[in-house]
Amino acid sequence: MRLLLVRHGQTPTNVDFLLDTAVPGPGLTPLGLRQAAALPRALADEDIDAVYASTLVRTQLTAAPLAAARGLDVIVRDGIRELSAGDLEMLPGDSERGRLYMRTGFAWAAGDTALRMPGGESGTEALARYDAVVAEAAASGASAVAMVSHGAAIRVWTAARAANVDVRFAAARPLDNTGVVVMEGSPSDGWKALSWAGAVVTPTGEAGPTGRPQPVSQRGAPVSGDRPQAGPKS
């Protein structure tokens, strides 16, 4: 299955660099709405059979234009919501304590899944809920699925599950709003990242699974405008 993991459009709390992970969360800024409207054209070459979104408002607003363009309903699932910030909720993501959020998430991706976000979920819980939605989509028989999710969740899940992406790669590459990670594989056979925000991902060699991006042109790229953040890209 081809799996397109799409970060939602810009929100007011993205602009303020806050760890905003609670349901239902804010809507989109005017820029975020334009980014969502650009997705159907940006993904025009993808034969998408299903469109998923998390239980947060921002992902559903982002997914709506893409689903409408394909004549599909948006399938809402809690499992692909953002990594819960717990006691770190609404802290600045680039503050000393706020940086603990991404350090914890990437520790999960590196294998320390028993570690718990302060006042929040463990890596075992977070990865399991994301796995369950991906498994549901794979079992549906769809050949290509778009899942509109969240920056930290996409980066951590990809680093944990893609054979050719490791924590160092994902940690160095925050996703802009409506950035896309394209995966291929299945829950049983494993996953490989094909591209990350428009750059082809290739293995660096036999020393490990670290990915390396190679620039590639992308027709109809989504409208952008928010700079990379030190926070969770939530």
Active site residue 82: yes
d(CA 111, CA 192): 18
Catalytic residue of the set 8, 121, 136, 150: 8
Say which of 82, 89, 125, 136 is annotated catalytic: 82
**C-alpha to C-alpha distance for 204 and 201, rounded to whole angstroms:** 9
Who contacts 96 (Cβ-Cβ below 8 Å, separation ≥6)? none
Neighbouring C-beta atoms of residue 214, cutoff 10 Å? 10
Using CA atoms, how far apart are residues 172 and 168, in angstroms rounded to an integer?
Answer: 6
- The residue whose two tokens read 């930290």 is 152
24 upstream amide cis, omega within 30 of 0: yes
Reported as type and span, the H/E element at residue 169 is helix 167-171
Q: How remote is the C-alpha of 72 from its chain's centroid?
A: 21
Whether the Cβ atoms of residue 218 and residue 42 lie closer than 8 Å to each other: yes
8 tagged catalytic: yes
| Beta bridge partner(s), residue 147 | 5, 52
Where in the sequence numbering do the catalytic residues fall?
Answer: 8, 82
